[in-house]
Amino acid sequence: MKLKRSSRLVDITSYLLQHPHQLISLSFFSDRYESAKSSISEDLAIVKDNFESMGLGRLETLAGAAGGVTYIPCMGGPEAERLLDRLKEELTEKDRLLPGGYLFMTDILGRPEYVNAIGRLIASVYIDEHIDTIMTMETKGIPLAFAVASQRNVPVVVVRRSSKVTEGSTVSINYISGSSKRIQTMVLPRRSLKENSRVLIVDDFMKAGGTMKGMMNLSEEFGAIVVGMAVFVEKEDEQKKLVDHYTSLLKLSITEQTSALKIEYGNVMSQFSNRDNRSGTIN
pLDDT digits (tens, 9 = 90+) for 65-90: 778 999 999 998 899 999 999 999 99
Give yes or no: residues 68 and 49 share one domain: yes
CATH no. for residue 46? 1.10.10.10
- Predicted pLDDT of residue 281: 42
Give yes or no: residues 101 and 14 share one domain: no
Cβ count within 10 A of residue 197: 21
Give yes or no: residues 29 and 81 share one domain: no
73, 94, 112 — which closes off a domain? 73
Give yes or no: residues 88 and 170 share one domain: yes
Instruction: Cite the beta strand spans of the chain per DSSP E.
Output: 57-62, 68-73, 97-98, 102-103, 133-137, 156-159, 170-176, 183-189, 198-206, 225-235, 247-255, 260-265
Contacts of 244 (CB under 8 A, 6+ apart): none
Provide the residue count of the chain: 283
Give yes or no: residues 59 and 97 share one domain: no
Q: Helix, strand or coil for residue 72?
A: strand
Q: Radius of gyration of the chain from Cα atoms?
A: 21
Q: How far is the C-alpha of 234 from the C-alpha of 102, rounded, in Å?
A: 10
Name the pLDDT band for 152 (thresholds 50, 70, 90): very high
- Predicted pLDDT of residue 146: 98
- Predicted pLDDT of residue 280: 43
Q: Which domain holds residue 19?
A: 5-73
Check: CB of residue 62 under 8 Å from CB of residue 44.
no
Q: Please state the rounded mean pLDDT for residues 127-152.
A: 96
DSSP state of 238: S
pLDDT at residue 179 tops 90: no
pLDDT at residue 25 tops 90: yes
Give yes or no: residues 92 and 148 share one domain: yes
Q: Please state the rounded mean pLDDT for residues 261-276.
A: 81
Q: Please state the rounded mean pLDDT for residues 239-258.
A: 87
Please state the domain count of the chain. 2
Q: Helix, strand or coil for residue 13?
A: helix
Give yes or no: residues 138 and 262 share one domain: yes
Q: How far is the C-alpha of 135 from the C-alpha of 199, rounded, in Å?
A: 7
Q: How far is the C-alpha of 193 from the C-alpha of 190, rounded, in Å?
A: 7
Amino acid at 164: K
Check: CB of residue 206 under 8 Å from CB of residue 230.
no
Q: How far is the C-alpha of 183 from the C-alpha of 185, rounded, in Å?
A: 7
pLDDT at residue 132 tops 50: yes
- Predicted pLDDT of residue 273: 61
Give yes or no: residues 88 and 69 share one domain: no
